[in-house]
Amino acid sequence: MKATICKSWIKTLTFIVVMGVFFGMSLLAECKNWNSADLVAYGKIFASGGNQVVEAAFAVKDGKCADFLLTDKDVLTCPVAEIHTAKPTAAYFEEKKVVPIETDNEMEKYKEIVRSWYGENKKITDGRYDKSLAVKCINGTFVGKKTEKVIAFRGIPYVGQQPVGNLRWKAPKDVVPDDGVFEAYYNAKSAMQPEAEISSLYFQGEDCLYLNVFKSDDAANQKKPVIVWIHGGAYEYGGTVDPLYDFHNFVEENPDVIVVTVAYRLGVFGFLHLSHLPDGKDYPDAQNLGLLDQQKALKWVHENIAGFGGDPDNVTLWGESAGGGSVTSQSLVKGSRQYFKRVIAVSGTPALSRSKEQAVACTNELMEALGCKTVADLQKVDVDKLVSTASALLPLRVAPERDGDLLPLNPWEAVANGAVKDIDFLQGVNKDEMNFFMVTMGGPEPFNEWASEVKAMKYAPMTDEERALADGFFNSIQGESYEPYTRLFSQIMFNAPCVRMSEEQAKAGGKMYTYHFTVESSLPLMKSGHGVSLPAMFKHPDMDGDTGRAFDETFSKTVRKMFVQFSKTGNPSLTAELSPDGKAKVWPLYDLKDKQVMVLDEFNIHPEKESQRKIVDWERTYFLTKYFSF
């Protein structure tokens, strides 16, 4: 399967590149200005010092040898902190367990593999198709492909017109009725994004508003609960083509649910404030188009999922990272709540958003860099130049806008006042979230350099008293040099917002189940970093680029069962009969008194009070949530 071929190496490879692009950092200063003409490729390397082999260029310049990645143009980033004084020897390759290669352009090889998955879904006009694999929808009849006991429908459009040409930076259009019959065999193009993450190596285009549906091949009489997955990627990367987001294994194990995966506009195509520009009044929604795309997909699901055997009145949103930010934000988006009743947020909250002032500042910087004054000027900019300029200029600064229109100015206040109290929530974080970013940025040294700069930026709006509190937390952390930074930024980005979301929902009288994922990767320094839970949650144990190993299968299956049970009933608890290990799992609601969370430990899933687990420092970091994460 394609997932087995590629996923284990490419997730590590691409996030090294992504983080290098995000933070504009190079581990080895002397290679900043090197280009491929100066370099000779020698072999495969260990990425980030871990034991997961990924193919990348190994090169020599001026008698010194360094490990780093190449594209067909320039060096993007240097992930491994290792410089040698001489050309690598056979003994070095044997020691590092690397194999010599013949090319200096492995990225192109990987792109070729990923793009081999592409195909164009065509209209079927001769009536020759398997009627048992066809589902009639408002905008056409779509024919899927069956593999074993699962039918996948890929590349179904959920809009009437794709957002190209004059529709760039415009709200998505409703589908129009169509009696045609169409193939749904292939993933549609990925959204426009920098070429780094696996989905970005696939074909890209602004015509990207499509979704996939995974269902079991059975004749169930009852309507099935529906899970809608929204991918992460810092609102700038990602796509449904990623093998990690192939839900075949998940649905094969859980045939009583249907899963839908959704693509949406990313980066400056999905989140760019334009209304303040001279001709910007015609683009009132540009700052939150990615959320509006997701909403339009939810509407399509509501209107069409019954044809696939799904229950339109029992839909759960599920997302991770920026996807977690998306699904929690959707609960606050005007007009969206009618389309779902539950939310599962993995390492993501409404804190992953920005203010109007931040959004306008980003647009102004982009306009100046491109020499543009109006939206009309922007429309004339080459799409690749727009992507590359925005990516270099606005790393980790593009996100949904708290505009007071689509999203409330203060999401925490809205949740506390009961805006989402009728929605069931399940959410949580990993024990060592920021370790993932530390590893993928090249290790402690480059991470500490970045973190020191960002820490100063985060402290800037704080009062003297608040800075003293945050510094008190920072200085209290013992251990390696990176640990105060990883712990502080885990609090800012993930832990404190997660706990605050639980607190505010509980204050409003709503249902909230909270977890703390503690299983550790076998890769050095990764620990229980951001995203390491996903292979277990989706039943992809072979995709070990971040985990380094397959997590215990009984544990993994139990987590999946709890999440599925939540999507069915609004309660993730399992009876002994339902639990894979034969032991009941009682998951308590988070409340203001005991603040209980479910600890997802590999060999001991159990509830604990937050006061025992210490996910947040109530005095010294909880207040940071008022500054949000971006």
- Which residues have a catalytic role annotated? 321, 433
The encoded tokens of residue 452 equal 């020191």
Residue 542 has which token pair? 């072979």
Give the side-chain half-sphere CA count within 13 A for 399: 29
The Cα–Cα gap between 577 and 385 comes to: 57
In this structure, the strands spanning 310-320 and 342-346 are parallel
* 340 closest CA partner among 311, 310, 307, 314: 314
- Interhelix angle for 322-330 vs 289-304, to 10°? 70
In 238-307 the beta strands, taken as DSSP E runs, fall at 258-262
Return the SS3 of 154. Answer: strand
C-alpha distances out from residue 11 to 77, 157, 198, 244, 544, Å:
15, 27, 7, 9, 9
The pair of structure tokens assigned to 26 is: 């190079």
Tokens 């708290």: give the residue: 402
Q: What DSSP character marks residue 155?
A: E
Q: From 346, 268, 621, select the one nearest 458 (Cα to Cα).
A: 621
Q: How many residues does this entry show for the chain?
A: 630
- The helix, strand and coil proportions of the chain, stated in percent and rounded to the nearest 5, come to 40, 15, 45
Closest CA to 19 of 63, 70, 79, 61: 79
Alpha-carbon distances of 503 from 119, 416, 421, 498, rounded to whole Å: 47, 8, 12, 9
Q: Number of C-alpha atoms within 13 angstroms, CB side, residue 501?
A: 36
DSSP bridge partners of 142: 135, 182
Burial code of 575-612, b = ≥16 C-beta within 10 A, e = fewer?
eeeebbeeeebebbbbeeeebbbbbbebeebebbebee
**How far is the C-alpha of 273 from the C-alpha of 402, rounded, in Å?**
11
Phi, psi of 79 (to 5 degrees): -80, -20
Q: Which of 299, 306, 304, 353 is nearest to 325 (CA)?
A: 353
Q: Which long-range contacts (CB under 8 A, 24 or more apart) does 576-580 make?
A: 580/554
Strand pairing partners for 147?
Answer: 150
Instruction: Give the C-alpha distances (Å, rounded to integers) separating 501 from 418, 474, 493.
Output: 12, 23, 13
228, 340 Cβ separation under 8 angstroms: yes
Instruction: Tell me the one-letter amino acid at 401.
Output: E
Q: Which two tokens stand for residue 104?
A: 């200096």
223 in helix, strand or coil?
A: coil
